[in-house]
Amino acid sequence: MQGRQKIFIDKGSDTGVLMLHGFSSTPRQFKELSNYMSEKGFNVSAPLVAGHGTSPEDFIKSSPKDWTRSVMEAYLELKKISKKIFIIGNSFGSNLGLWLIKELDNEPSGIITLGAPLYLRYQWLIKLRYYTYGRFLKYYKKPKSIYKADCTDMNGEITYPVIPIKNLKEFLDFLEQETIPNLNKIRIPILIASASVDPIIHPKSVKCIYKNVCSPKKDIFWFESNKHSAVSEENLEILFKKAYDFIKEFS
């Protein structure tokens, strides 16, 4: 599948940036941002999370343990060439990043979340569908508007058009059983970025993260967009600079 290749750039820097892509997506989300950060002199890693980048049939064989193992292995690989590591997560990649911080007892130097899902719009409806007819289906078909806009850089995003129902349930369980209960264990600097009008993520997700993390430095950044974790081309420079300034401040 095009876009599945991991990104790994060694700039000989003491600072590395680990970029974690979204649910059902690929490292292609970070092509532009990885170039930007490497040009600023940072080491960059954007791994492929297990079950992604091939086919929905492979996705259904993966589990949260596989996803978390993927990001832990990527972190340890980047750590070999970096003294400090910052995490940038897109959508569910943010949740995986928060899991990493908890598991590593706040070893990373900071995290930037882009459209981190804690609560979804119409989450009750998604659950209702799952517990009624959803359990008799194998795949959930993404609405075309979401499928086409599920990216951070707007250009050539590669993502699955369908999500296995099994994985969708595991995704929701991860939010409720792993991410939300453990926010108070996060004690490193965090920048919580989100689209001003996200069609998928409920805005209370941002407020929940801000309220519950125990980070001494925490900020919210709303960027103008009506797409999930996506910014218009004129906002790319603003978002990228915001991320760079955050990393530079704490590196």
The whole-model pTM stands at: 0.89
Lowest pLDDT segment from 103-107, 119-123, 206-210 = 119-123
Q: Please give the average per-residue pLDDT across 39-67, as a whole number.
A: 95
2 in a domain, yes or no? no
Q: Which of 46, 40, 39 is nearest to 22 (CA)?
A: 46
Position 137 confidence tier, pLDDT thresholds 50, 70, 90 = confident
Q: 30, 112 in Cβ contact below 8 A?
A: no
pLDDT at 164: 87
Structure-token pair, residue 79: 């750590």
CATH of the domain at 46: 3.40.50.1820
11 in a domain, yes or no? yes
DSSP 85-128: EEEEEETHHHHHHHHHHHHTTS-SSEEEEES--SSBTTHHHHHH
Instruction: Say how far apart CA 37 and CA 14 lie, in whole Å.
Output: 13
Instruction: Say how far apart CA 29 and CA 230 lie, in whole Å.
Output: 10
Q: Please give the average per-residue pLDDT across 193-206, as a whole number.
A: 89
> Which residue range(s) make up the domain with 105?
7-250
193 in a domain, yes or no? yes
Q: Which of 27-31, 103-107, 219-223 has the highest mean pLDDT?
A: 103-107
Q: How far apart are the first and last CA of the chain?
A: 35
Q: 236, 152 in Cβ contact below 8 A?
A: no
Higher pLDDT, 72 or 238: 72
Place of tokens 């991410």: 179
Q: 189, 216 in Cβ contact below 8 A?
A: yes
pLDDT at 196: 85
Q: 190, 113 in Cβ contact below 8 A?
A: yes
94 in a domain, yes or no? yes
Instruction: Say how far apart CA 196 and CA 219 lie, in whole Å.
Output: 15
Q: Please give the average per-residue pLDDT across 168-181, as a whole number.
A: 95
Q: Which of 89, 69, 75, 1 is nearest to 43 (CA)?
A: 75
Is the pLDDT at 241 greater than 80? The verdict is yes
1 in a domain, yes or no? no
Structure-token pair, residue 32: 């532009």
Q: 165, 135 in Cβ contact below 8 A?
A: yes
Ranges of H-type helices in the chain: 31-39, 56-59, 64-79, 92-103, 123-131, 144-149, 165-174, 204-212, 233-250
146 in a domain, yes or no? yes
Rounded to 10 deg, the angle between the 92-103 and 64-79 helix axes is: 70
pLDDT at 147: 45
Is the pLDDT at 99 greater than 50? The verdict is yes
Catalogue the long-range contacts made by 70-76 (C-beta closer than 8 Å, 24 or more residues apart). 71/18, 71/20, 71/47, 71/96, 71/97, 71/99, 71/100, 72/100, 72/103, 73/47, 74/6, 74/18, 74/20, 74/45, 74/47, 75/18, 75/100, 75/104, 75/108
Q: 204, 212 in Cβ contact below 8 A?
A: no
pLDDT at 236: 78
Structure-token pair, residue 177: 């059983």
Q: 60, 67 in Cβ contact below 8 A?
A: no
Total domains in the chain come to 1
